[in-house]
Structure 1
Amino acid sequence: MNELCVIGGSRYFGRRLVESLHAQGVAVTVVNRGSAPAPEGVTHLVADRDDEAALRRALAGRSFAAVIDQICYTPAQAEIAARVFAGRTARYVMTSTIEVYAGLDGAPFAEDAVDLAEQGPPATGYGPAKRQAEAVLAAQPDFAFVSVRSGHVLGGADFTGRLEHYVRRIRAGLPVTVHENPGASSFVHEAEIARFLAWAAGADFTGPVNAASHGELDVWELCAAIGTATSAAPAFTRVAGAAAGEVSPYSFERAFTMDTGRAARLGFAFSQVADWLPGVIERAVRTSVEEGAACAGG
């Protein structure tokens, strides 16, 4: 693979992606606002992606075999990217999300559950805005476009605090708030989604593709695994109706899973959630214990 550009890439699985590509001998350029230094040996361009003129200046004279956009959250950002990278790359991979399927019926969702041609005025909310960003980039004619719709990412240096929420409450004997009958969802390990993004950048298919490890997981199973790791019995508060807006991060009112058949047909083999979940939880529990001890000692 020739030189590859990663937009973002300063933390979590974006950082893992950059480090992995570099370790494989790929020439990597990272473009972000400079909140953290790039790994040694990686070219680092500092620019705010929302500032089109600044982005053009940073990229002047540069072109790439592919771009992986880790931080495209809105159609406005997608429009800037479509203009700036036209003529600079032959392939553009956007990191999208399972949240593009929010509010739809019919899980597990295949990629065609979302019609990118049917987009209304600028949307608010994470999932709808991501969906519209996909639509903008899919409609441009200047490069091949792929949207990687990632399941909920677990493992590694997770800055979201979602898994930590469960570990902290279960360790403390506090109840976890869930729907009355929560549904399962799709998850993926942070190293696996980084590997999938690198694979997608070097492939030749286009369009949306779902990315998730095999084996759906619901909030009961997640809490049970944390309970085993902490030797604590999880307690729950169940809510329904309007109050369900107060539920914990991985409690879903109904099944919220993705069909990864397209990825399999294209040749990517995902792992099983059961293979990596215990290790992820053990690390999260260990981190929680260490942080608690540090706070107590301080």
Structure 2
Amino acid sequence: MTTTTPRVLVLGGTGWLGGEIARAALAAGAAVTCASRGSAPAPSGARHVRVDRDAPDAFREQAVAEALAGEWDEVVDVSSTPAHVSAAVTALGPRARHWTYVSTVSVYAANAQAGADESADLVEPSDHSDYSHAKVAAERACQEGLGDRLLIARPGLIVGPGDRGDRFGYWPARMARAAGRDGARRVLTPTIAGRAAQAIDVADLAAWITSAGAGGLTGAINAVGPETTYGHVLELAAAAAGANPEYVEVEDAWLLARSVNYWAGPRSLPLWLPEEFSAMMRRSDAAFRAAGGRTRPLAETIERVLADERARGLDRERRSGLTAVEEASLLAQV
């Protein structure tokens, strides 16, 4: 009896999530090709094809078309640009046994109902410069071109080593500073009680996408971790760092009046969400679990993140969070 090695194409595959998916597919025994602009190397063992998806007819350029010729058992696309997604579906869709498009829970029109599932209404994509609108438009391009060969994975907050967005890593790193330095034990935070949190480890997401693709799973599924609380995230981060922080809790209005931002970005408190978005991290994971989704304990993920934060430097410049100087200035006003 002979078996054929599955051919997997990751559109991207050199970034954070795409790279994890490529590595997971390699570990599962697939022959993996990563098609990207090439700003970063493909994972070891994967073939890399340079494709500039901003270029007109990118997939029809002779070198690219020859490199990506033949049938594909699985194609995975993580792009947030509808035109890129549509062009890939047109060029490669007819030769793909199965296709996974990685979308986001941000596609939903409302975020106030806890436990909402995949049947919730989506935003109407009128502005492709908006992330959620662009993802819905990309989903629709996939649905129109692929029909019943399509899996739409809608992750929530993706976390883990290597995350350059810093939304989650801020807290383990902040607790490590609280444990190791005089004057850093006081930690500024929005009020803790009643706030939810929900995250999925990037390695767990990549493993599920790989197995779901191999199994031909279709439909739209919220790829989210179990719901927990913001306070539990802080507790686990403090335990991992060996910290005994003194939380200085302040109301949302106090933070907003001092130009502290929600969720992510400079001068922010990561994971903090306004009330009208409170259920964004309380999406149902029932379909994900039923489809074989598995997640490691949150404490393990936090240990992984903390090790990565220490390796990259606790005092490095971050894309999200408060700098030590900013936090000290705010604490002085409480």
Structure-1-length-normalised TM-score: 0.83
Q: CA RMSD in A?
A: 2.9
Answer yes or no: is 1:23 the counterpart of 2:27: yes
Query: Structure 2: how far apart are the matches of 1:139 and 1:205?
Result: 17
Q: Does the CA contact (< 8 Å) of 1:94 and 1:146 recur in 2?
A: yes
- The answer as to 2:203 corresponding to 1:188 is no
1:250 aligns with 2:267: no
Q: Name which of 107, 110, 114 aligns with 1:103.
A: 110
Computing the radius of gyration from Cα coordinates, the structure with the larger value is 2
Provide the C-alpha distance between the structure 1 equivalents of 2:98 and 2:190, rounded to a whole number of angstroms: 41
- Which of these residues, 279, 283, 287, is aligned with residue 262 of structure 1? 287
Answer whether contact 1:175 1:237 (CA < 8 A) is retained: no
Amino acid at match of 1:136: A
State which drifts further: 30-39 or 134-143. Answer: 134-143
8 Å Cα contact 2:70-2:95 kept in structure 1 = yes
Cα distance in 2 between the residues matched to 1:183 and 1:74: 32
Q: Give the match's secondary structure for 2:139.
A: helix
Residue 58 of structure 2 aligns with which residue?
A: 54
Match for residue 224 of structure 1 among 225, 230, 235: 235
Q: C-alpha distance in 2, partners of 1:175/1:291?
A: 15
Pairwise mapping of residues 274-285 of structure 1 onto structure 2 (< 5 A)?
274=298, 276-284=300-308
Match of residue 76, structure 2, among 68, 72, 77: 68
Scaled by the length of structure 2, what TM-score is found?
A: 0.75
- Percent of aligned pairs with the same residue? 24
* Runs of 5+ unmatched residues, structure 2: 178-183, 263-268, 317-334
CA-to-aligned-CA distance 1:57-85 (integer Å, 9 cap, x gap): 21333331110112x11322222222222
* Partners of 1:178 and 1:123 in 2: CA distance: 32
SS in 1 for 2:310: helix
- Distance in 1, Cα, partners of 2:255 & 2:243: 33
Listed one character per residue, the Cα deviations across residues 79-105 of structure 1 (whole Å, up to 9, x for unaligned) are 222222232212210111222236333
| Shift in alpha-carbon separation, 1:282–1:165, aligned structure 2, 3 A | closer
2:131 aligned residue: 126
Amino acid at match of 2:212: A
Distance verdict in 2 for CA 1:142–1:168, change over 3 Å: closer
Do the aligned partners of residues 120 and 284 (structure 1) sit closer, same or farther apart at CA in structure 2, a change above 3 Å counting?
closer
CA distance change for structure 1 residues 22 and 146 in 2, over 3 Å: closer, same or farther? same
The answer for unaligned runs of 5 or more in structure 1 is: 294-298
Query: Is the 1:177–1:239 contact (alpha carbons within 8 Å) kept by the matching residues of 2?
Result: no
In the TM superposition, residue 175 of structure 1 has moved relative to its aligned partner by 4.3
Whole-Å separation in 1 of the counterparts to 2:229 and 2:116: 16
